[in-house]
Amino acid sequence: MRITKQPLKGKNLVILSPLIVVIIVLFLIPWLGLGEYLITFLILYFIFLTMTEMWNFLAGYCGFFSLGQGAFVGLAGYMLGVLTDFGWSPYIAILISGVIATIFAAVVSKPLFRIKGVYFAVGTLALTEMVRIFFTSWRPSWASPVTWGGAGIPIKATAYISRVEVYYLALILALLSIFSLKIVLNSKLGLNVMAICDDESTALSCGIPTYRYKLYAFILYAFFVGLAGATFYLYQGYIEPTGGFGVSWTLIPLMATIIGGLRSIDGPIAGALIVTILYLQLVRYLGLSLILQGIIVLIFVFVAPKGLKSIFEIIRKHFYLRSSRLLT
């Protein structure tokens, strides 16, 4: 028995060691004096990575092609603004914002799950637009004349929280999203939602409560997207309806998933990195930004239809074969 266990432990150590080193380096980056630009880049990257992992989970593993990610991002951002305006700690406010996004997802899940395919996508897009219109026209009684409505609201907590704190929030959130999906996909929940995605009628006939498991997956998605949205607006310091509920919150994870590869946890890590670079570099080309992004997506669709994950799989197989030869 000891002879057979040792190679397995050795393989796990070879696989986990680089991952542990990368995580340690990421936690040390703010103290290495590498500049504010790198911190800003990584904050955006971790937030986009969290959103991409969750959108990929919903679309790739659950079969829900959502165009309404902006509804949860904007709602969480507004809740962060309101709670911190009343003196709540930004850390607690971010957590509550994620919970509010989860409750909202649970409320709208019943009508959304009645429609499927492209109609589900259109329904989520319409939902986002409805929420955007509501926040554009709503001005609460405590609001000042120059805020709320179409003008949006400032996130007051940004004034007393450092960029390094936001960095660690975004990093921890990205790590939690990845490790949570690893656990979920190997659990009963993951197996059931993948069975529902493949054939919902067959899953239902086998006794799987499809609505319940779809709801679990949907609220998990909404919770992490809400946390990511609140973290982004804590970094940005201001939210308004057009940007908070904009379609860009769907285009970013969609593009990152196409580049990285659908139904993969590793693919979005690379896809989100490329999208973050494009996001920062194409800002100067406002008129051509979407056109250039579309061209890049088309290149990946034709050259690598399965995304970068297909390339990663080839490299991984080579790495495993080489490491197993070294350990035997």
Residues linked to residue 154 through DSSP beta bridges, in sequence order: 238
Flag whether pLDDT at 6 surpasses 50: no
Residues linked to residue 239 through DSSP beta bridges, in sequence order: 153
Closest CA to 52 of 69, 75, 77: 69
- Reported as type and span, the H/E element at residue 39 is helix 36-56
Kindly state the average pLDDT of the residues 155-163. 85
Asked whether the beta carbons of 229 and 147 are under 8 A apart, the reply is no
**Given this model, what pLDDT does residue 177 score?**
95
User: Cα–Cα distance between 316 and 166 in angstroms, integer?
Assistant: 33
DSSP string, 207-223: T--HHHHHHHHHHHHHH
User: Cα–Cα distance between 37 and 45 in angstroms, integer?
Assistant: 12
pTM of the complete model: 0.89
**Given this model, what pLDDT does residue 147 score?**
74
b or e along 212-232 (b: 16 or more beta carbons within 10 Å of the residue's beta carbon)? Answer: ebbbbbbbbbbbbbbbbbbbb
Q: What's the length of the chain?
A: 328
* Domains of the chain from N-terminus onward: 35-327 (1.10.3470)
Flag whether pLDDT at 130 surpasses 60: yes
Neighbours of 178 (CB within 10 A): 17
Flag whether pLDDT at 272 surpasses 90: yes
Flag whether pLDDT at 9 surpasses 80: no
User: Cα–Cα distance between 221 and 53 in angstroms, integer?
Assistant: 9
Give 189-207 pLDDT, tens digit per residue. Answer: 889 999 988 888 888 888 8
User: Cα–Cα distance between 146 and 319 in angstroms, integer?
Assistant: 58
Give 223-271 pLDDT, tens digit per residue. Answer: 999 999 999 999 999 999 988 998 889 889 999 998 888 888 888 898 9
Kindly state the average pLDDT of the residues 35-46. 93
User: Cα–Cα distance between 6 and 4 in angstroms, integer?
Assistant: 6
Asked whether the beta carbons of 245 and 71 are under 8 A apart, the reply is yes
User: Cα–Cα distance between 178 and 176 in angstroms, integer?
Assistant: 5
User: Cα–Cα distance between 49 and 212 in angstroms, integer?
Assistant: 27
Which amino acid type is present at position 120? F
Q: What percent of the chain has pLDDT over 70?
A: 89
Flag whether pLDDT at 281 surpasses 50: yes
In terms of C-beta density within 10 A (0-12 exposed, 13-18 middle, 19 or more buried), how is residue 39 classed? Answer: middle
Task: Give the N- to C-terminal CA distance of the chain in Å, as an integer.
Answer: 16
Average pLDDT value for the chain? 86
Task: Provide the phi-psi class of 111: left if phi over 0, else alpha when psi is between -120 and 50, else beta.
Answer: alpha
Give 76-87 pLDDT, tens digit per residue. Answer: 999 999 999 888
Rounded to 10°, the helix 308-327/267-281 angle is 130
Kindly state the average pLDDT of the residues 79-107. 93
The separation between CA 193 and the C-alpha centre of its own chain, rounded to angstroms, equals: 18
The single residue listed with the structure tokens 């980056």 is 29
Res. 168 pLDDT band, cuts 50 70 90: very high
For 238, which DSSP code?
E
